[in-house]
Amino acid sequence: MLGNTERRLALVILTTALLPLASAMMLAYSLFNYASSVWLRPEVEQELEHGIDLYKEYIRVVKDDMKDQTAAMGASSALREAALRHDGPGCAQTLRELFPLYARQLVSLAVEDEGGRVLAQYDRGHQLDEGAERKLEVRRSLGVNGSGATLIATFAFDRRYERDLERAGGIHDAYAQLARERTHVYGGYYEAFAVLLGITVVATVALGFLLARGITRRINRIANAIHQVTAGNLDVRVPVTGSDELTELARVFNRMLSEMQQSRARIEYLQRIGAWQEMAQRLAHEIKNPLTPIQLAVQECHRKYPGEDARFRSLLDTTLEIVEEEVGTLRRLVGNFSSFARLPHAELREESLRDFLGECSEQLGHLGAEPSESGADELIVAQDVEVRWELPAEALPVAIDRQMLRRVLVNLVRNAVEAIRDARSRGNGSSRGHVVVRAERTTEAIAVVVEDDGPGVPEAARERVFDPYFTTKLEGTGLGLAIVKKIVVEHNGSIRVDHSARLGGAAFVVALPFPHSLAIAAARSSDGRLGQQPPRAIPSRR
């Protein structure tokens, strides 16, 4: 069933096609009548007949001239006497003398006796061109009362005149036929033009409906998608087809939905991570408070025991050692909780990612990382793991918080180093590990990739590795990648585990939006922090 928009578009296309076609048909009718009145006139036919008569008269005059020339040559007394004596050499000499006088159209001259034997012959030196010349032979008796020898003169007549005469005759006949049937001829053309117009109208209507249906179908897709968005479904997408304004509208609409979906996911994640941070802060507070009294009480018991019983003294020493070790572990855990709970909000500045990675490569180099008791990142040299920084050729402008993004890279590189070491300790790794940090521009974002040749991330854990307190390590709090994801989300970006790492291990891809993208614009309008300060210069040490 056709909609109003389809009918209107089809009507517009039909009207646009009919107006010039109807005008052309009326103009063609007028031109046919005018042409008939101009060209099909009796005067034209008379002039054509007169031209043909002139051609015929010219050809007759040429032929008469050839006959007159033959008669003039046959009147030569020397030629007649030599022919009467059957003197072949004398005839030949006379023919050579006569030929130059009439050589313009002559091809050859010959003298035959009464029996048809050739006494003498002379020609122009080359044969007749059958394509351009026509042979015309004229005979003239050299005797008295038509008896005796005969002079045969062969002339070359230009065939162009015959062809022109034939062509003129054909044109005259066609013109006469057209004049006799002009009403029928013009009527046939006019009917053919009318049929063509009808076919064009039908094709235009069909094409109009097809084009209108294609446009309205795409509009309906966008309208249906908008209805689903108003119902809360942000997963809907409009197919991007064609290369017109509707295509650009569909592309922008899909990009807007992606940005809205990312913003919703970002808000939900930040709300969820905020709840985790609050819980971590409470746990840190609840765990930290009793640690010191427990440690002091055990130390006091150990200190005040005089030591008469060696077995009991050994038990106290072991207890003190265990308590102090476990308290230290709990303090490190509390430090991690506190660090996670006190994560600052990212203050984004527009920077050059190439310069930032260059600075990180100089500061970190071949470094691994492990958490200290204070919760800060204490860097240690990773002599057995090569960390290579592949700097991009272009600047790659991004909006980042340098300190927080540096922490992301430290955590990812540290995890890669520890994964390689753990695999080597289990006998699954090579003698020397490799970690590569690189950046590249994609169509939608700028990606920072940290990959290694370690054991990789199990497929079952790839969706949960960024959840707080989830870890695949024997020792660990599961907060490192949660902190990484929160910082990346604060940068309005995303992080994922790539399934096709070049080195064969794990590959973490951090996607950062362009500094002037919709995501950064939304962040600028929501918190007002982006762009308050000018970009900080990065010293170059290269």
| Same domain assignment for residues 169 and 59 | yes
- Does 95 fall in a domain? yes
- Domain span at residue 391 reads 346-527
Distance CA 244, CA 141 (A): 92
- Using one digit for the tens of pLDDT, what is the confidence trace for 282-338? 777 677 778 778 878 888 787 878 777 788 888 878 888 888 888 777 777 777 666
pLDDT at 447: 93
Given a contact cutoff of 8 angstroms between Cβ atoms, the answer to whether 68 and 86 are in contact is no
Domain count, the chain: 4
> Cα angle vertex 208, ends 202, 213, to 5°?
130
For the CA atoms of 283, 285, 290, 293, the dihedral, rounded to the nearest 10 degrees, stands at 150
Residues 212, 326: one domain?
no
pLDDT in tens, 507-536: 999 999 888 765 666 555 555 444 444 433
- Contacts of 79-86 spanning 24+ positions with Cβ under 8 A: 79/111, 79/142, 79/151, 80/142, 80/143, 83/111, 83/113, 83/119, 83/142, 83/143, 83/148, 83/149, 83/151, 84/142, 84/143, 84/148, 84/149, 86/113, 86/119, 86/149
Is position 225 within any domain? Answer: no
SS3 content of the chain, % helix, strand, coil (to 5): 60, 15, 25
pLDDT value of residue 535: 39
Q: What is the pLDDT of residue 509?
A: 94
Strands (E), 21-160: 106-112, 118-123, 133-141, 150-158
| Res 358: pLDDT | 92
Rounded to the nearest integer, the mean pLDDT of the chain is: 76
Report percent pLDDT > 90 for the chain.
9
Closest C-alpha to 212, from 246, 259, 252, 178: 246
The residues that bridge with 121 in the sheet, in sequence order, are 110
Q: Which residue has the higher pLDDT, 381 or 346?
A: 346
Given a cut of 70, is residue 466 above it in pLDDT? yes
Average pLDDT over residues 436-457: 90
Is 232 inside any structural domain?
Answer: no
Residue that is last in its domain, among 316, 342, 368: 342
Same domain, 124 and 27: no
Local confidence band at 390 (pLDDT 50, 70, 90 cut-offs): very high
127 compared with 441, residue with greater pLDDT: 441
Token representation of residue 50: 């007169």
| 371 and 284 within one domain | no
Identify whether residues 61 and 161 lie together within a single domain. yes
How many other CB atoms sit within 10 Å of the CB of residue 524? 18
Does residue 155 share a domain with residue 206?
no
Query: Looking at residue 155, what is its pLDDT?
Result: 83
Q: Are residues 313 and 398 in the same domain?
A: no
Query: Nearest 5°: phi and psi at 255?
Result: -65, -40
CA distance 170 to 287: 118
Which pLDDT value is given to residue 428?
61
Q: What is the mean pLDDT of residues 92-115?
A: 82
Is residue 228 one of the residues assigned to a domain? Answer: no
The answer to whether residue 120 is domain-embedded is yes
Do both 350 and 424 map to the same domain?
yes
In whole angstroms, what separates CA 280 from the centre of its chain? 52
CA distances to 36, 48, 125, 168, 174 from 53, in Å: 25, 9, 35, 10, 17
Question: Last residue of some domain: 342, 360, 381?
Answer: 342
Task: Report DSSP state, residue 354.
Answer: H
Which amino acid does the sequence have at 385?
Answer: V
| C-beta atoms surrounding 20 within 10 Å | 9
Q: Tell me how long the chain is.
A: 542
Co-location of 194 and 271 in the same domain: no
Say how far apart CA 131 and CA 311 lie, in whole Å: 138
Q: 157 falls in which pLDDT band (50, 70, 90)?
A: confident
Which of 342, 360, 386 is the C-terminal boundary of a domain? 342
Is the distance from CB of 413 to CB of 436 less than 8 angstroms? no
Whether residue 226 lies inside any domain: the answer is no
Reported as a single tens digit per residue, the pLDDT across 431-440 is: 678 899 999 9
Span 269-297, pLDDT tens digits: 777 777 777 776 777 767 777 877 887 88
Once rounded to an integer, what is the mean pLDDT over residues 47-66? 77
Structure confidence at residue 532 (pLDDT)? 41
C-alpha 114/C-alpha 148 separation (Å) is: 6
In angstroms, the CA 293 to CA 322 distance is: 15
Distance of CA 116 to the CA centre of its chain: 87
| Residue scoring higher pLDDT (75 or 32) | 75
Task: State whether 377 and 457 are in the same domain.
Answer: yes
C-alpha span between 34 and 18 (Å, rounded): 24
CATH of the domain at 392: 3.30.565.10
| Residue pair 328/372 in contact by the 8 Å Cβ criterion | no
**pLDDT confidence of 373, banded at 50, 70, 90?**
very low
How many Å apart are CA 367 and CA 2, to the nearest integer? 68
Domain holding 145: CATH number?
A: 3.30.450
Does 30 reside within a domain? yes
Per-residue pLDDT at 357: 93
Work out the pLDDT band at 183, boundaries 50, 70, 90.
low
d(CA 465, CA 456): 12
Q: Helix 88-98 crosses helix 77-84 at what angle (to 10 degrees)?
A: 160
Distance CA 214, CA 208 (A): 10
Residues 481 and 521 placed together within one structural domain of the fold: yes
Q: What is the CA radius of gyration of the chain?
A: 54
d(CA 112, CA 141) in angstroms, rounded, equals: 10
356 and 482 within one domain = yes
Q: Taking 70 as the threshold, does the pLDDT of residue 30 lie above it?
A: yes
For residue 532, tell me if it sits in a domain: no
* Average pLDDT value for residue range 343-353: 84
